[in-house]
Amino acid sequence: MKFPFIDLQAQRAIIADEVDAALKRVLEHGQFILGPEVEQFEIQLAEFEGGGHAVSCANGTDAIILPLKAWGVGPGDTVFCPSWTYAATAEAIAVIGAIPYFVDVDPVTYNLCPKSLRASILQSQNAKAIIAVDLFGQPANYPELRAIADEFDLKLMADSAQGMGCRLSGKAPIEWADVVTTSFFPAKPLGCYGDGGAMLTRDESLKEQLLSLRFHGRGTVPGDHAKVGLNSRLDTMQAAILIEKLKIFADEIEARNRIAHRYTEALQSNILRTPKVIEGGLSIWAQYSIEVPDRDSVMAGMRAAGIPVAAYYPLPTHMQTAYKDFPTSPDGLPNTMAAKDMIMALPMHAYLKPEDQDAVIETLLGFM
Ligand SMILES: Cc1ncc(COP(=O)(O)O)c(C=O)c1O
């Protein structure tokens, strides 16, 4: 390949001295689990997201599991989620014995479709929660999803593993969701150098439960464990790295938007469909995904020409072996099924050089 799909080293070059110094501080104070950097990062992340509390944890999958456990969701309960997302969204539901109920996505934004959600809720039993996904970095339709959650008395979770930093009408998803979860997997827009995750909430009592559940469910009496929890803590080294990365995150979001705009200007046509962000939305462009006819041969051609591209996702979750027996929307998943054959993600990160982006654009237009 001529250049990487996501260039983590370009970012590292900018903050290498700060990260090295931060890691040295951790090595010297030696509090590798729940050291001071963890709480410092949690405070800064909550501030970045417009207030409330942030509770960090070991990864973005646990970040979904922990609030579900706190809400008492378990065997026999139904949780609605898109099929068109990474499998971890449904996995977090199924692993605690609950039922992931697959809902279709909007054909334009690829985020949870309120109409399909409502039809699914009406058909379901023991409905407990909705998980919206900020797919490819753009916010879901939170005002409509919140209204549905309130109407049916359901919890609303924002799986913002791909969307940390996205906004709708200038506000973060926490404005609507009961809890927002995210992943710091290295390739995510706000990634660390290993696994990591976090949950954000404005609910003080949920925060307390999450703090306990991420630490084996420990109680207030020393030695007592009040609940069956997980060992799911963000380690101090990762928190120290994230503190440095958060400092440049706003600039990186701006850069990603500039690059996305440049792609859209060059590529929009009758043949390709460039991404559309929900009205009033700010995407952080975890992926820049376009719809291409004859996607698989275009992808093969791009790769042969040395341009890295990816298909997210070749198989929607409801078609995957572990998830094929769970329920799907009564109206089917037509938009999910259409997306799976057409979507191709182009190289996207905050440090993509104009000449590399030009090579992507020219090669792709050549195929068209
Ligand atoms: C939408 C979504 N949810 C959850 C996750 C899980 O995050 P992690 O890999 O940190 O467990 C991911 C990660 O790829 C994701 O994309």
Cβ 272 vs Cβ 291: under 8 Å: yes
Q: What is the pLDDT of residue 138?
A: 97
Domain boundary among 196, 221, 247: 247
The finding on whether 198 has its CB within 6 A of some atom of ligand 1 is no
Same domain, 199 and 268: no
d(CA 298, CA 350) in angstroms, rounded, equals 25
Residue 1 domain flag: no
Name the residue with tokens 């706190």: 70
Residue 270: how many other CB atoms lie within 10 Å: 6
Are residues 288 and 155 part of one domain?
A: no
Q: Is there a single domain that holds both residue 72 and residue 89?
A: yes
Does residue 242 sit in the same domain as residue 146?
A: yes
Q: Please choose, from the candidates 177, 172, 151, the residue with its C-alpha nearest in 3D space to the C-alpha of residue 63.
A: 177
Q: Is residue 71 part of a domain?
A: yes
Cβ neighbours of 47 (radius 10 Å): 12
Q: Does the predicted TM-score (pTM) go above 0.75?
A: yes
- Smallest CA-to-CA distance from 174 within 56, 46, 340, 352 is with 46
Distance 184 CA to ligand 1 centre (A): 9
**Ligand 1 pocket member 83 (CB < 6 A):** no
Clarify whether residues 49 and 145 are in a common domain: yes
Question: Which ligand 1 atom is the nearest neighbour of the CA of 183?
Answer: 10
Q: Which atom from ligand 1 is nearest to the alpha carbon of 133?
A: 1
Total domains in the fold of the chain: 2
Between the CA of residue 349 and those of 8, 69, 188, 190, what are the distances in Å? 8, 34, 10, 11
Quick: pLDDT tens for 282-330: 999 999 999 999 999 999 999 999 999 999 999 999 999 999 999 999 9
* CATH code where residue 55 lies: 3.40.640.10
| CATH number, position 285 | 3.90.1150.10
Residues 6+ apart with CB under 8 A from 291: 272, 273, 339, 342, 343, 344
* Residue type, position 167, single letter: R
Confidence band for 334, pLDDT divided at 50, 70 and 90: very high
Name the nearest CA neighbour of 194 among 56, 336, 13, 353. Answer: 56
Mean pLDDT on 144-159? 98
Q: Which atom of ligand 1 is nearest to the CA of 185?
A: 10
User: Which of 134, 189, 139 lies closest to 351 in space, CA to CA?
Assistant: 189
pLDDT of 269 reads 85
For range 118-123, the mean pLDDT:
98
Tell me the mean pLDDT in the region 336-350.
96
**d(C-alpha 159, C-alpha 156), whole Å:** 10
**Structural domain span for residue 16:** 8-247
Please tell me whether residues 179 and 52 are part of one structural domain.
yes
- The pair of structure tokens assigned to 184 is 């710091």
Q: Which atom of ligand 1 is nearest to the CA of 162?
A: 16
d(CA 189, CA 279): 22
368 pLDDT above the threshold of 90: no
Is residue 307 domain-shared with residue 242, that is, in the same domain?
A: no
- The answer as to whether 2 is a domain residue is no
Same-domain pairing of 184 and 262: no
Helix (H) or strand (E) holding 346: strand 343-346
| Secondary element (H or E) of residue 245 | helix 236-247
Rounded CA-CA distance 16/4 in Å is 19
Mutate to test the pocket of ligand 1, among 66, 183, 188, 317 (most ligand atoms within 8 A of CB): 183
Q: Give the pLDDT score at 270.
A: 81
Beta pairing, strands 197-201 & 53-57: antiparallel
Tell whether 151 is covered by a domain: yes
Average the pLDDT over each of 5-9, 55-59, 85-89, 111-115 and give the range with the smallest value.
Answer: 5-9
Q: Is residue 3 part of a domain?
A: no
Q: Ligand 1 within 6 A of 86 CB?
A: yes
Residue 138 lies in a domain: yes
Do 230 and 352 have their domain in common?
A: no
Beta strands 99-103 and 78-82: pairing type?
parallel
User: What residues contact 151, with CB distance under 8 A and at least 6 apart?
Assistant: none
| Residue-level pLDDT at 175 | 97
Q: Are residues 124 and 219 in the same domain?
A: yes
Q: Is the CB of 183 under 6 A from ligand 1?
A: yes
The pLDDT value given to residue 201: 98
* 159 alpha carbon – ligand 1 mean position (Å): 8
DSSP letter string over 7-76?
Answer: -HHHHHHHHHHHHHHHHHHHHHH---BS-HHHHHHHHHHHHHTTSSEEEEES-TTHHHHHHHHHTT--TT
Final residue of a structural domain among 219, 247, 275: 247
Residue 221 is assigned to a structural domain of this protein: yes
Work out the pLDDT band at 271, boundaries 50, 70, 90.
Answer: confident
Whole-number pLDDT of residue 2: 86
Please check whether residues 141 and 81 belong to one and the same domain: yes
Q: How many CB atoms lie within 10 A of CB 276?
A: 15
Question: Contact, 101 vs 140, CB < 8 A?
Answer: no
**pLDDT at position 109, please?**
96
Do 79 and 122 belong to one domain? yes
Q: Does residue 1 register a pLDDT over 90?
A: no
Q: Reply yes or no on whether the pLDDT at 359 is more than 90.
A: yes
Each residue of 183-237: pLDDT tens digit? 999 999 999 999 999 999 999 999 999 999 999 999 999 999 999 999 999 999 9
Mean pLDDT across the chain? 97
**Domain-embedded: residue 261:** yes
Domain boundary residue among 224, 247, 270? 247
Q: What is the mean pLDDT of residues 57-86?
A: 98
